[in-house]
Amino acid sequence: MPVTATSWLRPLRGGSQTHLFKAADGHHYVVKLTSNPQGLRTLVNEWIAQRMLSYLKIPCPEVEIIEIPLALIEASPALGITRNKTVYPPPAGWHFGSRFPVDPNLLAVHDILPDMQLMTVRNLHHFAAALAFDKWTANADSRQCVFYRARLLDVLGDEEAGAAPEYALRGLVATMIDHGYCFNGIYWDFPDAPGFGLYHRSEVYRKVRGWNDFEPWLERIRNFPETLLDRAIHEIPQAWLASTSEDDLSGLVEKILRRRGKVASLIEATRERFPNHFPNWR
Ligand SMILES: Nc1ncnc2c1ncn2[C@@H]1O[C@H](COP(=O)(O)OP(=O)(O)OP(=O)(O)O)[C@@H](O)[C@H]1O
Ligand SMILES: [Mg+2]
């Protein structure tokens, strides 16, 4: 069920012209509008990708369908998609929301970190995981994430955190965002390029020493259940599927499933093309 947006805060940077809202559940959301310039299917991609990432246990924000009421649009003149200095308001109704991991009025969230600080991020191993995911989904974008301080246990989960007492503490963590270009954006044709999904700083891959660093994720991908994709698709609002047929959707699912066994070879091609990104992988 959608969550209703209660206030509009501001536009955010980026090609899809997202906006920050507060919603009735008390959380803040970065909202991609159905009228965004990157196309309606990027909302579908975001939704499916989040369900896949959650299954793989790769940190990513919660997502919700965000209902923007007409009254809020009318009360927020800067809310919309800007073309030639004109703001075109979005249609009232259901849009895509990626939950802000903290209250943005109280705590900082960073798009990038200086290298020294980047090295202190407590879940850098999830960048190898995200690379496996991005190869699988032909994410035609570089890897993007945001960093913030959190209780490590909340981000890493019991399985990884184990019994180590330090995981009750807080630390800098990365959570993976922006999956609009998975499945090659609106095209759903999965071209594979070695640079897809790489993070712009190679430091995040410094601890990668071999296939063991990818294996837990590769195994989860190999065993990924078809039913999960079916469930994800049924959650998607019809309005987001205006230019998508049943055949398009079943074709997408089929291609995703068929590629489950191909991920290691795609990572290998990336390593061959960008060896400097993996200096300790011998
Ligand atoms: N869940 C989130 N929590 C915090 N910030 C977020 C979240 N999702 C997105 N953002 C912020 O909103 C910005 C735009 O989001 P996103 O990257 O998904 O859209 P985009 O238009 O594709 O941006 P770009 O073209 O810059 O890649 C991000 O750079 C990030 O700062
Ligand atoms: Mg982006």
For residue 262, which of 224, 229, 222 has the smallest C-alpha distance?
Answer: 222
| Cα 2 to Cα 144: distance, rounded to the nearest angstrom | 26
- Cβ of residue 45 lying under 6 Å from some atom of ligand 1: no
Domain of 83, in residue numbers: 3-277
Distance 14 CA to ligand 1 centre (A): 7
Per the domain annotation, does 44 fall within a domain?
Answer: yes
Which residues 6+ apart lie within 8 Å of 229 measured at CB?
48, 51, 52, 253, 256, 257
Give pTM, 2 decimals: 0.97
Q: Which atom of ligand 1 is nearest to the CA of 98?
A: 1
Q: How many domains does the chain have?
A: 1
pLDDT tens readout for residues 236-268? 999 999 999 999 999 999 999 999 999 999 999
pLDDT tens readout for residues 169-190? 889 999 999 999 999 999 999 9
Which residues 6+ apart lie within 8 Å of 171 measured at CB?
120, 121, 122, 149, 150, 152
∠ at Cα 149 (144, 152), nearest 5°?
Answer: 95
Both structure tokens of 265: 């070879």
State the average pLDDT over residues 203-218: 97
Closest ligand to C-alpha of residue 109 is 1
Closest ligand to C-alpha of residue 174 is 1
Q: Is 86 exposed, middle or buried (0-12, 13-18, 19+ CB in 10 A)?
A: exposed
Per the domain annotation, does 232 fall within a domain?
Answer: yes
pLDDT of residue 162: 61
Per the domain annotation, does 206 fall within a domain?
Answer: yes
Q: How far apart are the first and last CA of the chain?
A: 48
pLDDT of residue 165: 67
Per the domain annotation, does 282 fall within a domain?
Answer: no
Per the domain annotation, does 220 fall within a domain?
Answer: yes
